[in-house]
Structure 1
């Protein structure tokens, strides 16, 4: 119950835009993934904060990288490194809505990056990743409307 309450509170706090057409990628003032480097999840197996010097704009969001090498990798294959479901909480998308994410709550599965709202929600996500991916795939990108 607590997790649902937190997710609903997150949506409510986002204001009216949370209920109407949302951006393709979840982003804050810090950028996509709250300014964390999407490539680092794959290369370093941990979240790494990006740097202003290594920045690019992709599909309406600002992306930050820890190095020029990571920035170049992303530019060459953005679909490989960008988080699934636009960086919105994968578990929420599997349930039919969107929620913000915590860069510390992440999973690599079948070569793809999935983010979750919190470490607690991540535990629920990990209970059935293949099943949750199937549900989320069926609902993405319709949940943006």
Structure 2
């Protein structure tokens, strides 16, 4: 009986820490360790490994304790769309692609991140090709891929 209770406790703990979606994490943190609150202040900043919080099974780091508190008060406001993967790649290809954490857009009070390397800046493509239509396409495609691990 003790073994069964132990296994049940482990499973409950495991499930409660499981992510509801797949997030882009690099270096152990969402958004490559950048402070998601700082984007809404207009300047993305790297977070500190000593100022962190976990939400939905993912670690987030912050540049200040004030930003940590803002996040804790309303985490859904600050979490990037599409798990922090490139919004353009989700819209166009239905794929999860890494991002450049300093290439972003705040649209309708939501954070969108983009790939920007090797001469390809997908934020520019997102804007040029019509962000509203691409956002609608990304929302539909994200529903199909959001739980798949990349």
Higher Cα Rg, which structure: 2
Task: Output the TM-score relative to the length of structure 1.
Answer: 0.79
Which of these residues, 36, 39, 63, is aligned with residue 38 of structure 1? 36
Distance 1:52 1:100 in 2: 21
Match of 1:73 in 2: 70
Contact 1:88/1:115 (8 A) holds in 2: yes
Match of 2:144 in 1: 142
Number of residue pairs aligned between Structure 1 and Structure 2: 123
Task: Output the TM-score relative to the length of structure 2.
Answer: 0.77
Q: Which runs of 5+ in 2 are unaligned?
A: 1-20
Distance 2:39 2:50 in 1: 19
Q: Which runs of 5+ in 1 are unaligned?
A: 1-22
Over the residues paired in the alignment, what is the CA RMSD in angstroms? 1.6
> Displacement, 1:100?
0.8
Any runs of at least 4 consecutive aligned residues in structure 1 with deviations exceeding 3 A, and if so which?
none
- Higher RCO (C-alpha 8 Å, min separation 6): 1
